[in-house]
Amino acid sequence: MSLFINALSIAIIVILAVSLIFTWNLARQQKAVEGGLDTKIAKPIQKHVYIRNPIFFSYGIFLVLLLFIVLFVAITFFR
């Protein structure tokens, strides 16, 4: 395997580990809702709705990695 593939594999594993830890901590912080479906959302989350959402964070990481893969293929095979 080339150095780029090894580095990309390590980066993917690190990102997956960080995402898993982030999601695990976020799930542990959630409290059980007692009797109400509509509860207040914390102020920091209201201010940063998209940044605090792990789904959007995962999509962003995916798009960046996809861009790196496309650039690698383009540089490697279309010289």
**Residue 8 to residue 2: CA distance in whole angstroms:** 10
Instruction: Check: CB of residue 8 under 8 Å from CB of residue 68.
Output: yes
Query: Per-residue pLDDT tens for 57-67?
Result: 888 889 999 99
All structural domains of the chain with their residue ranges:
42-79
Read off the amino acid at residue 17: A
Contacts 24+ apart (CB under 8 A), 72-79: 72/4, 72/8
Query: Per-residue pLDDT tens for 25-55?
Result: 777 776 544 445 666 777 776 777 667 677 8
DSSP state of 41: P
